A and B are shown apart, each in its own frame.
Chain A
Amino acid sequence: MERRTLIKTFAASLLAGAVLAGPALAEGTITIGASAPKTGPLAGGSAVTYWPAIQLWVHDVNERGGIDVGGEKMKVELIEYDDRTSNEEAIKNIQRLATVDKVDFIIPPYGTGINLATAPLIAKYGYPHIAVTAVTDGVDEFAARWPNSFWTLGTSEGMATSLVDVMKKMKDAGQINEKVAVVNVADAFGIELANAGKPAFEEAGFDIVYETSYPLQQQDFAPIISSAMNAGPDSFVAFSYPADTFGLTKQAAIAEMPVKVFYTGVATAFPAFAGANGAAANGVMGVGGVNASTEAYQDFAKRQEEVTGVAPDFWASPVQYASLEALEQAITAAGSIDKAAVIEALKSGTFDTIMGEWKFDNNVIRSFWTVGQWQDGAFQGIASKGAGGEAEPIVKSGWK
């Protein structure tokens, strides 16, 4: 009997200790929740672009003592949830972060579709929603509908028309003919880019000789590549997601697809793309890009690899990091972790990030990279909306 009482007392004091210690510990910290795919079709993408940039930022902030909030340094604690690449799961995660974990800030999910699906909920709980991995034409509409939302990576129209501009210049210079094959993944990103790209191609005098869409989990691309080849285009354009980007490129290399422009979507900018395709990657164009020669990018890439073991991509990784730098500076500017105050600070402030100086224009960053190309082992930005430092495009010659 006595022993049991002893244990009870011990347990009770432990519990009391935990309860007392809990708030004392939490006082100096800002909790930040993140929900994105760790499993499912988009997990491969978020494992390159999303999670490592966030981990690096948390590491950086805590290393320099925390975020300056009204003179007090507050450390950051990260809560990570897996949304299994499912909208429903993502919504549950956001709900949980807001109501159970009661986090101070939320880092919005990965992927256009899931960002849009969770936006109403994030708005309802009043969190700033700085979307990075969301490319959509609705940025102005969404920014008006959810004044807490900020859009940083550009518009699908911008991405697609910029590609058409690059290709039109090549056509006018006689480097390619007017025949183009356009395929897309049947998901928000692919559909939006295809819808913006196809009319732009026609307007620029291109002839779309083959077009199709394929589902998100497609594994076999031989039929698409061979059908496209039968149509005999000089250019092949795929608005694709990571797994299909790899699949299409491999298949095109095997078939020795005789094209002079080969463009794929998300993941072309991943370091693994060059690793998987070797010399065949040279000349492949893709969505995104970055000025890879800037000191800020190279420093970021080096540190992310040191801290997380994962090399960043040449597109959204630095933007993901920059979005968190903006959040941090907005918190400091607001002098509190009050969500509404931070949203106001984001709207009006100017932020010094690794992507250069950021100032939101009606909640949207208007300068962004649109097209990149693998040139001698680096994915160089070749077109942008006002980012500056573009490289000249080259004609793709063979797959060896």
Chain B
Amino acid sequence: MDILITGTVLGGTYALIALGLTLQYGVARIMNLANGENLVLACFCAFWLYTAASINPVIGIAIIAPAAFLLNWLIYVYAMKPLVDRAKNRGQLEVDSILATFGLMFIMQGVMLLVFGGSYFSYNFLSEPVRILGANYGLNRIVALGAAVVIAAGLYLFLYRTRYGTAIRAVSVSPSSASLVAINVPRASAFAFALGGALTAAGGALLSTFYTFNSSMGVIFTMKALIIVIMGGVGDVRGAVLAALLLGLAETAVASLIDPGLTLAATYTLFIIVLLIRPQGIFGRQTA
């Protein structure tokens, strides 16, 4: 029972890390390797808002997410759009965007190092225990899990129940056909990329309430997000959430029952098994 709850909470955290990348990679087709840096930047912003202006991180999201939306929109328009325009096919865009965001990753990391230094940061927010079924859990983690559920549900409703959401899904299936039915593909892509960035930032703000972070740890988050996105099926919100939960449960079970040193091994074993059985990811479509 303990394992189930801890695992679900951890899964919620992972979902927060990965949802943004699902959109960025699935719709805008940009494999954003700077995803983790984006997240850590949001951690710093939340930290700064909380310590300097004593703004509650959950409310801080209202500032951080729009700012991240704007920043990612600009990144897409000025840095990614030229790559999209010159790419002859999806494969080329993938390679180009990986290289470009790899560079972006170092830039963001360098700027954060310059501004914040290499030290660890953390602060106390809602780090009080809640009792669930006889064991204590951090309130901030439960809040993050709740937020993950809200964000995932909101994203699902937006993508599957609204007109613009349907348009975005159309772009993710086939950009060329989408433009035939009067969907402004570049705009939809930019929107998806920016929304993905905003989601990642919101996740970062929530994560900062219970993670100890420093300027150079973005890559850990990027790796986790990549695994979840690919495991869940590129561009599929349901898949990403399910994969995140699976990963959280598997890691917690292995850490509690076998050895904490094997969590990484468990992650990759699960990854390989899923890829062997369903190479397109849990909810992925066969690529044409």
Tell me if A99 counts as interface (CB < 8 A to partner B): no
Interface flags, B245-288, vs A, CB<8A=1, else 0:
00000011001100111011000000000000000000000000
A217 & B119 in contact (Cβ 8 Å cutoff): no
Roughly how many angstroms separate A242 CA and B120 CA in the complex, as a whole number?
A: 8
Roughly how many angstroms separate A242 CA and B212 CA in the complex, as a whole number?
A: 10
Tell me if A232 counts as interface (CB < 8 A to partner B): no
Q: Which of B72-80, B121-129, B174-182, B230-238 contacts A (4 or more CB under 8 A)?
A: B121-129
B260 & A223 in contact (Cβ 8 Å cutoff): yes
A223 & B252 in contact (Cβ 8 Å cutoff): yes
B216 & A39 in contact (Cβ 8 Å cutoff): yes
Interface flags, A243-282, vs B, CB<8A=1, else 0:
1001100110111100000000001000010001110000
Tell me if A54 counts as interface (CB < 8 A to partner B): no
**B250 nearest CB across to chain A (Å):** 12
**8 Å CB contact of B216 from A40, A48, A251, A277:** A40
A219 & B211 in contact (Cβ 8 Å cutoff): yes
Q: What total of A-B pairs shows CB separation below 8 Å?
A: 107
How many chain B residues touch A (CB < 8 A): the figure is 38
Roughly how many angstroms separate A39 CA and B9 CA in the complex, as a whole number?
A: 29
The verdict on A213 contacting B214 (CB below 8 Å), with A38-B113, A227-B256 known, is: no
A253 & B127 in contact (Cβ 8 Å cutoff): yes
Tell me if B166 counts as interface (CB < 8 A to partner A): no
A276 & B256 in contact (Cβ 8 Å cutoff): no
Closest residue of chain A to B2 (Cβ to Cβ) is A226
Return chain B residues, CB-CB under 8 Å to A218.
260, 263
Tell me if B137 counts as interface (CB < 8 A to partner A): yes
A255 & B122 in contact (Cβ 8 Å cutoff): no
A212 & B120 in contact (Cβ 8 Å cutoff): no
B261 & A212 in contact (Cβ 8 Å cutoff): yes
Tell me if A46 counts as interface (CB < 8 A to partner B): yes
Return chain A residues, CB-CB under 8 Å to B263.
214-215, 218, 220
B119 & A44 in contact (Cβ 8 Å cutoff): yes
Tell me if B102 counts as interface (CB < 8 A to partner A): no
The verdict on A212 contacting B6 (CB below 8 Å), with A47-B117, A223-B255 known, is: no
**A218 nearest CB across to chain B (Å):** 7
**8 Å CB contact of B214 from A43, A215, A224, A256:** A43
Tell me if B52 counts as interface (CB < 8 A to partner A): no
Return chain A residues, CB-CB under 8 Å to B42.
none
Roughly how many angstroms separate A253 CA and B2 CA in the complex, as a whole number?
A: 17
Tell me if B133 counts as interface (CB < 8 A to partner A): no
Interface flags, A33-75, vs B, CB<8A=1, else 0:
0000111110110111000000000000000000000000000
B261 & A44 in contact (Cβ 8 Å cutoff): no
A43 & B118 in contact (Cβ 8 Å cutoff): yes
Return chain A residues, CB-CB under 8 Å to B128.
254
B10 & A44 in contact (Cβ 8 Å cutoff): no
Task: Find the residue from A38, A47, A220 having the highest chain B CB count within 10 A.
Answer: A220
**A2 nearest CB across to chain B (Å):** 43
Q: Which residues of B contact A (CB under 8 A)?
A: 2-3, 6, 9-10, 109, 113, 117-120, 122-124, 127-129, 135-138, 210-212, 214-217, 220, 251-252, 255-256, 259-261, 263-264
Q: What are 29 A-B pairs with beta-carbon distances under 8 A?
A: A38-B118, A39-B215, A47-B119, A213-B260, A214-B255, A214-B261, A214-B263, A215-B260, A215-B261, A217-B217, A217-B220, A218-B263, A220-B10, A220-B251, A220-B252, A220-B263, A222-B137, A222-B252, A226-B256, A243-B212, A243-B214, A246-B212, A250-B127, A250-B212, A251-B138, A254-B128, A267-B120, A272-B119, A272-B120
Counting from the closest, the 7 A-B pairs by CB-CB distance are A43-B118, A223-B255, A44-B120, A214-B260, A39-B216, A47-B118, A47-B119
Q: Which residues of A contact B (CB under 8 A)?
A: 37-41, 43-44, 46-48, 183, 186, 212-215, 217-220, 222-224, 226-227, 242-243, 246-247, 250-251, 253-256, 267, 272, 276-278, 310
